[in-house]
Amino acid sequence: MKPMKSILAASLFVLATGVSAFAARSDLVLGIVLEPPHLDPTASAAAAVDEVVYANVFEGLTRIGPNGQVEPALAEKWDISEDGKTYTFHLHTGVKFHDGTGFDAEDVKFSLDRARADDSTNAQKGLFAAIDSVEVVDPATVKVMLKQPQGAFLYNMGWGDAVMVAPESAGTNKEKPVGTGPFKFENWAKGSSITIVKNPDYWGDAVALDKAEFRIVPDAAAAVPALLSGDVQAFPQFPAGDALPQVQADPRFKVVIGATEGETILATNNKKPPFDNIKVRQAIAHTLDRKAIIAGASAGGNGVPIGSHFSPANKDYIDLTGTYPHDIAKAKELMKEAGLENGFKATIKLPPPAYARDGGQIIASELKEIGIDLEIIPVEWAQWLEQVFKGKDYDLTIVSHTEPNDIGIYARKDYYFNYDNPEFDKVIADLDVTADPAKRSELLKTAQTILAKDAVNGFLFELPKVGVWDAKVEGLWENSPIQANDLTKVHWVD
């Protein structure tokens, strides 16, 4: 039997090496435009952080899937009490953090309490506002008590800002992130690249990639040669819109146009005369020619028109682009009714992204047709946040609101739109305590309609996600329901 065994072993060995010689590639270099400031998703709003670590390095109780749906993650399942105020999460067992420490209910309590503490610097503290207390039942069960029922609670727990961290490593996650995900952080060459490698001790399905590198390519002009030379095999968000036709014509690459959660709007200061007059805002809405704006200001002209502050990819979306159709005569009439037939002067502050700078030029020339003379003021992000967002010192501006399901911002007091409509506030307040999907859908549709009718802002287009990658790479997200590059299903095919 012995010789037989060794022959078998030898042939197995040959087979194994043979297979590995033909096995698909297991490394991937992805190009990203912005370098994250650090790698702790619980301490920054920077999308660049989640684009590296979300679902790869860190996991939450729940997670958001490729189409925006809530899926179980570290919580295998959950029960919701009758009154909708108590969530009991049943956790996966045998889960370990990358530093070898175990993950259990205590870590859940720690993570949630840390995020909602008074001195917390979590950028999305609002996600945790409804939590009243967190209680450890046993190592695999945790109870979260809410102050009032919250329809979006499970979704909120899927955000990158709500991922689970360990008390041992929470303080150092910025530099050396330690999560429970299928990839471990390996190395960060500042300004250059971030590398993650397969976590052999992962509790769930093993990933196909052994190694993934996020390479920082800040310049749009550099992205094209990086792709063509094979240095970078995937740009989940391809920055060079002008070069798309060239890449599209090349069979080595796939161009995948998907949806994001980025509502690009002509934000309007609703308290500043004459924009406080709804007739003026309606006149602007009638003047905006979305087709021209999308062609000129969205990557490759791939933006999807929107008529309210809501993503067309969402199942509760209604098309309101016809509320105030492109109609100059009507717009002029409205200006006359507002007593402004001779027009007026105003400013438009434009942050750095191309959609804003290019869109601003187009909108300025369009508004000239009804006598609104816009002075274009380019600003940096820092200035924009200071002057426009915080100081509300602006008339018009263009910006993309990339947080998912963020229609609620219109109900915020003192938000930079200066919009105040008790009817709308009531809808959002109801929405917050409603868990029934049918009722939620109804409320969301009402909310969209109110915003469209009030012409709060100029609703322009949904930012497209233009992904470009090697034709042999599969499993990258087509859409971007949250800002992430989930690599758990990514693999090479031959």
Partner 1 sequence: MTAYLLKRLAIGILTLLFASVVVFAVLEVVPGDPARLMLGMNATEDAVQALREQMGLNLPLVTRYVTWLAAFATGDFGRSLTYSVPVIDLVAERLVVSLPLALLALALSTVIAIPAGLFAAARRGRFADTATMGLAQVGVAIPNFWLALLLVYVFAVWLRLVPAGGFPGWGNGFWAGIKALLMPAVALALPQAAILARVTRSALIEVLGEDYIRTARAKGLPRRRVLWRHALRNALIPVLTIMGLQFAFLLAGTIIIENVFYLPGLGRLLFQAITQRDLIVVESVIMLLVAAVIVVNVLVDLSYAAVDPRLRTRR
Which residues contribute to the site for partner 1 (CB under 8 A)? 35, 37-38, 44-46, 118-126, 174-175, 189-193, 215-219, 221-222, 225-226, 228-231, 380-383, 385-387, 389-390, 401, 403, 406, 409
Closer Cβ to partner 1, 140 or 216, answer by number: 216
Q: What is the smallest separation between the CB atom of 44 and partner 1, expressed in angstroms?
A: 6
Q: What is the smallest separation between the CB atom of 75 and partner 1, expressed in angstroms?
A: 24
What are the CA-CA distances from residue 210 to residues 25, 253, 467, 484 (Å)? 9, 22, 22, 19
Closer Cβ to partner 1, 18 or 245, answer by number: 245
User: Is 308:449 a contact under the CB 8 Å cutoff?
Assistant: yes
Closer Cβ to partner 1, 24 or 117, answer by number: 117
Q: What is the smallest separation between the CB atom of 196 and partner 1, expressed in angstroms?
A: 17
Closer Cβ to partner 1, 175 or 242, answer by number: 175
Quote the strand ranges of 322-457, DSSP E: 344-350, 372-378, 396-401
Closer Cβ to partner 1, 210 or 219, answer by number: 219
Closer Cβ to partner 1, 141 or 269, answer by number: 269
Closer Cβ to partner 1, 126 or 149, answer by number: 126
CA dihedral 450, 453, 458, 461 (to 10 degrees): 70
Q: What is the smallest separation between the CB atom of 233 and partner 1, expressed in angstroms?
A: 12
How crowded is residue 323: how many other Cβ atoms within 10 Å of its Cβ?
Answer: 19
Q: What is the smallest separation between the CB atom of 409 and partner 1, expressed in angstroms?
A: 8
Whose CA is closest to 187, among 52, 95, 97?
A: 52
Q: Quote the tokens at residue 395.
A: 């008339």
Whose CA is closest to 98, among 197, 199, 214?
A: 199
Closer Cβ to partner 1, 245 or 325, answer by number: 245
Question: Which positions ≥6 away from 46 have C-beta within 8 Å?
Answer: 34, 36, 37
Closer Cβ to partner 1, 485 or 488, answer by number: 485
Scan for tokens 């409509």, then name that residue: 421
Question: Which positions ≥6 away from 144 have C-beta within 8 Å?
Answer: 86, 87, 88, 89, 112, 131, 133, 134, 135
DSSP at 258: E
Closer Cβ to partner 1, 49 or 207, answer by number: 49
Q: What is the smallest separation between the CB atom of 238 and partner 1, expressed in angstroms?
A: 15
SS3 8: helix
Q: What is the smallest separation between the CB atom of 385 and partner 1, expressed in angstroms?
A: 5
Whose CA is closest to 277, among 349, 337, 342, 365?
A: 337
Closer Cβ to partner 1, 92 or 215, answer by number: 215
Q: Quote the tokens at residue 372.
A: 């609104």
Closer Cβ to partner 1, 220 or 433, answer by number: 220
Gap between the Cα atoms of 333 and 342, Å rounded: 12
Closer Cβ to partner 1, 2 or 190, answer by number: 190
Q: Are strands 131-138 and 141-146 parallel, antiparallel or unpaired?
A: antiparallel
Q: What is the smallest separation between the CB atom of 226 and partner 1, expressed in angstroms?
A: 5
Q: Quote the tokens at residue 182.
A: 């299928």
Q: What is the smallest separation between the CB atom of 262 and partner 1, expressed in angstroms?
A: 12
Cα distance from N-terminal residue to C-terminal residue, the chain: 39
Q: What is the smallest separation between the CB atom of 189 and partner 1, expressed in angstroms?
A: 6
Gap between the Cα atoms of 169 and 410, Å rounded: 37
Measured over the CA atoms of residue 469, residue 473, residue 478 and residue 482, the dihedral's sign is: negative
Q: What is the smallest separation between the CB atom of 110 and partner 1, expressed in angstroms?
A: 18
Whose CA is closest to 57, among 195, 241, 246, 151?
A: 195
Q: What is the smallest separation between the CB atom of 271 and partner 1, expressed in angstroms?
A: 19
User: Is 192:180 a contact under the CB 8 Å cutoff?
Assistant: no
- H-run or E-run covering 83: none
Q: What is the smallest separation between the CB atom of 53 and partner 1, expressed in angstroms?
A: 15
Gap between the Cα atoms of 252 and 250, Å rounded: 5
- Helices then strands, counting H and E runs in the chain, come out as 13, 19
Instruction: Encode 394-412: b = buried (16+ Cβ within 10 Å), e = exposed.
Output: bbbbbbbbbbbbebbebbe
What is the residue type of 39? Answer: L
